[in-house]
Structures are given as structure tokens and as C-alpha cells.
Amino acid sequence: MPPAPDFPSLDRRYRDQAAWTRGLRQKVLDEIGVEAGARLLDIGAGTGAVADDVLRNRPGARLTAIDLDSAALAYARRRPVAAGFVVGDAHALPFRRASFDISFFHFVLLWLKYPVAALIEAARVTRAHGYVIGFAEPDHQARIDAPAELEDLGRKQTEALASRGADTRFGRKLRAAFAEAGLRPVRVGVLGGEWAAGRGEATDSEWPTLKSDVAGTLDRAELDRLESVDRRAWTDGVRVLFVPTFYAIGEVP
């Protein structure tokens, strides 16, 4: 039996991811015009990190968070936010047509067996001229690592994600998926990259995830050595880690 998920660690990781995309999310929601009372649906909400971040910046919104993992949602309910939490499948959302003004995904579609079907469902439960948004869908196959000593580690993590069911090329497919789902693409793009020395906190959240991903492919001593290389590279200002992460905004016809 696999070990129980470490939700505090997962939540920290999800909060870091939410912080990475906060600027884009706020810009998009500003452009769309999320007014008090707007109905938002967070599909694949996990521990509620993004829902929490959205409601802190849009306290007047009415947000529903849905995820297939009831244990993750139980953890999410600990947050002091006014969100409704629903257990359900992104491929068959338990809501009526046009129930929401905006539906969104965040690092979710690459994990779904039928992402276009999930986008069609999101469009179904979103009102006409409302929006379906994919805030962050990575393309791990285009990952860049420097210094070169860390390239193989990046490849192994990408292979591990693929073995767990992720579509590691989904970022480049996002635009086509929105079009196939019948959404009118408003904008599709790639999040930019920035690198700064001394990224200690981000590294602290990334390495437990990375070690879990590549467990069994590298021994512990080698992983510890590569972690030291990685941390030193950040401190020395020579580290580059870039996974192109796409976003898409589509209007419901």
C-alpha cells in the first residue's frame, strides 16, 4: 500500500506554484473584470492553495473548488476562506449548464486522461461569453537545466512524471486543446523566466518533490550530491531551470 500523501508538504509546493503564477492570474482577472459576486470554479483544486490566493485578492467572488481527491479537499477545508468544496471528476462536473462566470485549471490538464473533454465540461458549466482559463500547463520535454551536471536529473524527473501519467508535452498542446473544445482563444502564451541568486525557499519546496519523483532511479547519496550542486548553483548565480509553462484564456461561445 502506498504511503499516505504528505498534505502539508504538497500544500507548500502548491502555494509556491500559486505564487509563481500570481502576477499572470491577477492581470487576467483584472482584464476580464471579476466583480463582486462573480462565480468562479477552480477545477482540480487540490489543497486549495490557488483558491485561497484568488479569494485573498478577490474577496467578493463566490468560488467553488472541485477535486477528485476527497482527502485533499478535507485538508483544503482547513483554510479560513469562503470557498465551497465539492468532490467530483473534471470529466463529468456535477453542475448545471452556465453555473459559473469563469472556470479555471492550474497545473491540472497535463494530468487528465481526456483534457479536451474536461475543457468541454468546463465550457458547459460556464455561461456564454464567460471564460475558461488554463493558468499553467508545463511542457517538460522542453525543459532547460544549467549547469550541465543537472541536465540528466531534469530528464529523469520528466521521465518519472510521464510514468505517473502526466503528458509531459501538454504545454505545447494547450492552444489546440482549447480550439478543439470549441473555445474562442482570447490569448495563449508562455510564462516568462527569471533567475536570481539565493532562491533558498523555492529550492526547499522543490527538492522533496524532485526526490519523490525520481525515487528508485538514483540512489540517495547521488541525490544528496546533486542537491548540493543545485543549491550551490543558485547561490553562485549560475543556475537556470526553465520549464516552459503555457497559459490560455478562452471565451465560451
What mean pLDDT do residues 188-216 have?
72
Q: Please give the backbone phi and psi of residue 31, each rounded to the nearest 5 degrees, phi first.
A: -65, -40
In a domain, 134, yes or no: yes
Copy the grid coordinates of residue 239: 543556475
In a domain, 39, yes or no: yes
In a domain, 239, yes or no: no
Residue 208: its pLDDT value, please?
Answer: 79
CATH code assigned at 70? 3.40.50.150
pTM given for the model: 0.91
Domain extent, residue 184, equals 7-140+166-195+244-251
Instruction: Give the three-state DSSP class for 214.
Output: coil
In a domain, 216, yes or no: no
What mean pLDDT do residues 193-209 have?
64
What is the band of 1 on the pLDDT scale with cuts at 50, 70, 90? very low
In the chain, the number of structural domains is: 1
Q: pLDDT per residue over 119-145, tens digit each? A: 999 999 999 999 999 999 999 999 999
d(CA 252, CA 143): 32
In a domain, 234, yes or no: no
SS3 content of the chain, % helix, strand, coil (to 5): 45, 25, 30
Task: Give the distance from CA 162 to its chain's centroid.
Answer: 16
What is the band of 198 on the pLDDT scale with cuts at 50, 70, 90? low
What is the band of 196 on the pLDDT scale with cuts at 50, 70, 90? low
In a domain, 156, yes or no: no
In a domain, 23, yes or no: yes
In a domain, 203, yes or no: no
| ∠ Cα 21 23 26 (to 5°) | 105
- The rounded radius of gyration (Å) of the Cα atoms in the chain is 18
